[in-house]
């Protein structure tokens, strides 16, 4: 299981390659996005791709990875 952060040109290319099935907008939730995704997956993801170049988003992507917890 994986998560892609950012759906600009790079993120959409990654999405197309992996066949994403769900999209989550962090603005629709009160909790940090990594917690929302952990709740959805029960334990996080195996891989996360940060396609924005924002340090705080990089941290969220790292925290979401189940291998890091």
Q: Which residue ranges form the domains of the chain, and what is each CATH number?
A: 2-68 (3.40.50.720)
Res 22 pLDDT > 90: no
Q: Name the pTM for this structure.
A: 0.79
How distant, in Å, are the alpha carbons of 38, 41, 69 from that of 9? 25, 26, 30
d(CA 31, CA 1): 21
For residue 67, pLDDT beyond 60: no
DSSP state of 19: T
Q: Are 40 and 24 in contact (CB under 8 A)?
A: yes
Averaged pLDDT for residues 2-7: 89
In degrees, rounded to 5, the angle at the alpha carbon of residue 55 between the alpha carbons of residues 63 and 11 is 80
Look at 69 and 7; give whichever has higher pLDDT.
7
């Amino acid at each position: 299981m994986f998560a892609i952060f950012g759906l600009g040109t790079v993120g959409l290319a990654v999405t197309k390659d992996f066949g994403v099935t769900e999209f989550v907008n962090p603005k629709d939730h009160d909790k940090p996005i990594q917690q929302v995704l952990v709740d959805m997956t029960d334990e996080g993801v195996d891989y996360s791709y940060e396609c924005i170049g924002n340090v705080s988003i990089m941290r969220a992507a790292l925290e979401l990875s189940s291998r890091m917890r």
